[in-house]
Structure 1
Amino acid sequence: MDIRHLELLRDLREQGSLAAVAATTHRTPSALSQQVRTAQRAAGTRLVEPDGRRLRLTEAGELLADGADEVAAALARVDSRLEEHRGQPIGTVRVAGLPSGLTALLPGVFASLSDSSVTLEVTDMDLAEQDYAGAVADADIVVAHSLTSDVPAGTEGLGRTVFLREPLDVALPQGHPLTERAALRPRDVVDETWIGVPEHFPFDTVLQRIGDATGRTITPRLRMRDNQLIAALVAAGEGIALLPRFTTRPGDGLALRPLTGVHSERWIVGLSRPDRAERAAVRLVTQRLVEAGRALIG
């Protein structure tokens, strides 16, 4: 059985349609359909069957899809040993993830790789926590975050590496009365005008915890994804917000204060498919990301 057939079955199980797999792997649905037919001839049995507008795997298809990561990881380990024999990792590593996490970690990683034969391709994306697992189909390392655990939702079965635990501070306009306090509690901030993130994004979890701790509900005046835009609006006096400590620069009208009394920190985590995590170049970049995280917390 061709490893590409196993990987296609795995992708079909995860994404449910040839069109979805085609979009993430930059191929055409017709080419993938031909590949499925070839795989079924090689296996001597049906591997997929219709399920409404989607495709689902047969028992035989499930069996082969289960082996995709195992076989690919074994091949990657062999490639990795060959790279080590040559003297150093080589190749391109595709990194994707949340902009604030990449901002905190990547500058140091680029510098540390300057004398290596590894190059980085970087894509920024801001997703709901449960959507980061799906991004591993198109990247070697996905930098994700979680407010509830060091294992983001839906990442079971993926390789996971914690890069950083980062506090989320309360961002205030300079001159706000609360800036006179060294730290803030839920009851101090629950009645303020808030600028939040979209619902189901990790930072929104902390606002829910503040509400639970005080018996009230926080309804943000605005919801948006971009931390720099949020910081600019806070500095302009349009509300307060939660912003990550290591990638938010106080000054220019902005002050940060720690939040106590509720859990208010996030895990920044690297996610990889097991086979890709075995590549020597991916392992090198993962280690550099770990080192960059350690450098931030001193």
Structure 2
Amino acid sequence: MLNWERLRVLATVAEHGSIGAAAAALHVTGPAVTQQIRKLEREAGTALVEPEGRGMRLTTVGWIVAEAADEAGGKIAAAEHALTELDGRAVGPLRIGALHSSFRLLLAPALHTLALRHPDIVPSARSGGGALDMIPLLLSHDLDAVIIENWSSLPVRMPPRVRLHPLVDHDVVLAVGSGHPLASHERITLSEVRGQAWAACPPGTDHHEAQLHIMRRHDIEVDVRFVADDFPTQMTIVAGGLAVSLAPRAAVEGFPGVRLLPVSPTVTRTIAVAIRGGLPSPAVTALVDALREVVQVLPGQTPASGIWPEPGR
């Protein structure tokens, strides 16, 4: 009999394209993935992977088995969904990942709504740097939903098994100290911002990479001298005249000592909830609904257009 956990490992290799990428998604080592596949091959009585350069690829039989495992996973998820809907209630654990800024702005009030309306949901949440960190946790079933961002200057491509529910669009502005020479501008062209020290989120996060990408498109190499996980800390640095930063207006509006300048060309950030494909559980549906309500009542929020921008658009 074929072991289900080993089948799930093989399906993950098929989805991510390599042993290393599958290991990262499953939070295990590459040798551990290889060992599970070898055991599965012994159970199947045939080769499921074959050498390709310095790595491996699935054999024809491997692809057939992986697709069957993926279909089985979908049916199991549907069965779990049906079980939770037996009495029409949203119940059980709900594991959420969120950006640092979205945790405070959107998720916290949404969790309050869930506690009032769905007391049988048991939520847990963790903050993260962006899609690169959290989407693998979603696909490996370590998280049930993640709140991620998409910058129009560097759109994020989602794996096929991820469904997105855009929530809100934020204008991105250049934040400078109120005493900064650029503070007298009504609007700033990004090509004008040269020779500045910058504040940003850590390397690898969506904010950091998007900021570097858009400035490099204007032939400006960003000198990131101050790295902080959250926008309030960055704005403290900006207010002190030590750096400038590109930031979503909604995350930094009203910060004392900071002037926010509209930028040209326009840059936007879209916040969305990412969930796995298939039928969402009642708890996940309740979370998406609660987040949409938060967007409707928070001042200064623009509900998302419903479109997740593709690269180049």
Q: TM-score, normalised by structure 2?
A: 0.76
Please point out which of 234, 240, 244 is paired with 2:244. 240
Change (3 A) 1:281 1:5: farther
Q: Distance in 2 between matches of 1:50 and 1:65?
A: 17
**In the alignment, which residue of structure 2 is the partner of 1:60?**
61
Aligned CA RMSD, in angstroms, stands at: 3.5
- After superposition, the C-alpha distances for 1:236-267 in whole angstroms (9 at most, x for unaligned) are 110211122222242332232322x2131112
Query: Cα distance, 1:111 vs. partner?
Result: 0.8
Query: Cα distance, 1:88 vs. partner?
Result: 0.5
Query: Cα distance, 1:16 vs. partner?
Result: 0.8
**In the alignment, which residue of structure 1 is the partner of 2:135?**
133
Change (3 A) 1:279 1:145: same
The alignment status of 1:145 with 2:149, answered yes or no, reads: yes
Structure 2 alignment gaps of length 5 or more: 303-313
Indicate the SS of the match to 1:86.
coil
Q: Distance in 2 between matches of 1:90 and 1:151?
A: 34
Q: Distance in 1 between matches of 2:205 and 2:216?
A: 16
Indicate the SS of the match to 1:175.
coil
The alignment status of 1:95 with 2:96, answered yes or no, reads: yes
**In the alignment, which residue of structure 2 is the partner of 1:274?**
277
The alignment status of 1:290 with 2:292, answered yes or no, reads: yes
CA contact (8 A) 2:13 2:21 kept: yes
CA contact (8 A) 2:153 2:213 kept: no
Indicate the SS of the match to 1:114.
helix
CA contact (8 A) 2:216 2:222 kept: no
User: What does 1:1-298 correspond to in 2, within 5 Å?
Assistant: 3-13=4-14, 14=16, 16=19, 20=23, 24=27, 29=32, 33=35, 36=37, 39-49=40-50, 55-115=56-116, 116=118, 117-127=120-130, 130=132, 132-136=134-138, 137=140, 138-148=142-152, 152-197=156-201, 201-203=205-207, 204-206=209-211, 208-210=213-215, 212-213=217-218, 216-222=219-225, 224-226=227-229, 227-259=231-263, 261-274=264-277, 278-296=280-298, 297=301
Query: Cα distance, 1:90 vs. partner?
Result: 1.0
Share of identical aligned residues, percent? 23
Query: Cα distance, 1:162 vs. partner?
Result: 1.4
Q: Distance in 1 between matches of 2:69 and 2:295?
A: 32
- After superposition, the C-alpha distances for 1:29-66 in whole angstroms (9 at most, x for unaligned) are 39x83x54564355442223456775543222222223
